[in-house]
Amino acid sequence: MGVAGAGKTTIGHALAAELGWAFVDADVLHSEHSVQKLGAGVPLNEADRAPWIARLHAVVDRAIGRREHTVVACSALKERYRHALRGDLHPVRFVYLKADPALVRHRLANRPRHLPGAALVDSQLADLEEPQDALVVDASWSPERILGAIRDAFGV
């Protein structure tokens, strides 16, 4: 979890590949309406996010029900979103890729087609409620160091 440009997709995909687990990028579960808003630099509102969070929870619930290890890359900026994602699914753990605003702006400037894009960094930073129950990893570290920290913390 973390703001756009923190490295969620890069790290999530690499972790899943390394462990032989499934990977889900939460951005692909946005509605077409939400994708259009994000592409236009318009922040999503609660009405946009609610069905998206519900779809993500269903993905996680299904994976746990099937005993399939899955890595999900998702912003999950607010505590209530993380609570809705986890629900009563106790095996769910969060990794917070904590990123300096200058770092994410730099990364997004070099990836102009990134969803949601550089235009929304400020709104994402304003919405961010840093988690109290997540592994916190410095997003400026190398991918190898981040993956090592995750493996060590979770014993995978």
pLDDT in tens, 21-73: 999 999 888 888 888 887 777 778 889 889 999 999 999 999 999 999 999 99
* Closest C-alpha to 126, from 78, 82, 71, 55: 78
Measured distance CA(76)–CA(78) in Å, rounded: 6
Domain total in the chain: 1
Q: What pLDDT score was predicted for residue 30?
A: 87
- 21 in a structural domain: yes
Closest CA to 57 of 31, 92, 94: 92
Residue 130, in any domain of the structure: yes
Q: What are the structure tokens assigned to 51, written together? A: 């069905």
Residue 1 is assigned to a structural domain of this protein:
no
pTM for the full predicted model? 0.87
Sign of CA dihedral 115, 137, 49, 31: positive
pLDDT (mean) for 106-110: 83
Q: Quote the domain boundaries for residue 95.
A: 8-154
Q: Is residue 114's pLDDT more than 80? A: no
Question: What's the rounded Cα separation, in Å, for the pair 37 and 40?
Answer: 5
Structure tokens belonging to residue 94: 């969060």
Residue 115 has pLDDT above 80, yes or no: no
Asked if residue 22 belongs to a domain, the reply is yes
The pLDDT of residue 150: 97
| H/E stretch holding 96 | strand 95-98
Q: Does 36 reside within a domain? A: yes
Domain with residue 46: its CATH number is 3.40.50.300
- Do the strands 95-98 and 135-138 form a parallel or antiparallel pair, or are they unpaired? parallel
DSSP state of 23: E
